[in-house]
Amino acid sequence: MAGIDYNHEVNCSLSVSNVNDAVAWYSSVLGFELSERMEQIGFATLKTSVPGVVLGLSETEDGGGKEGGVTMTWGVTDLEGAKAAIEAHDARTDGDIREIPGVVRLLGFYDPDGNHHQFWAEPND
């Protein structure tokens, strides 16, 4: 059986209610950089700070926040700093940072369309 030859890029795609508003939010809150915008189809691609990971935003009639969607989990080195940064933009979080001792620390948050994300960091051992 032949293996899959990946191109070393992951495009995490989300449905949003307004692509321009979403680009502004992901740029200002998470620091992502617009790399391509296709106005005619309501689509934009943003570069993240993670090598090989891009975010695709697709404007749809019903927007984002659907049950059963993917939760993108972004690794950070300073979880408290990341929490403060998104809270400065009034981003809704899942509450406090949770820790699974010896495994991981997590903070869930939402974009304006209700798409769920998480930040993760190494545990405080």
What is the pLDDT, as a whole number, of residue 39?
Answer: 87
CATH number of 10-61: 3.10.180.10
**pLDDT tens profile 10-59:** 888 888 889 999 999 999 999 999 999 988 888 899 999 999 899 999 88
Q: So what's the pLDDT on residue 64?
A: 62
The DSSP secondary-structure symbol of 31 reads -
Q: Please give the class, per CATH, of domain 71-125.
A: alpha beta
Mean pLDDT of 68-82: 84
Taking CA 122 as the corner, what is the angle to CA 11 and CA 51, rounded to the nearest 5 degrees?
A: 25
Within the chain, all domains assigned CATH 3.10.180.10 are found at 10-61, 71-125
Q: Looking at per-residue confidence, does 88 or 66 come out higher?
A: 88
Which of 45, 112, 32 has the alpha carbon at shortest distance from 74?
Answer: 32
Digit-coded pLDDT (tens) for 89-102:
999 998 999 998 88
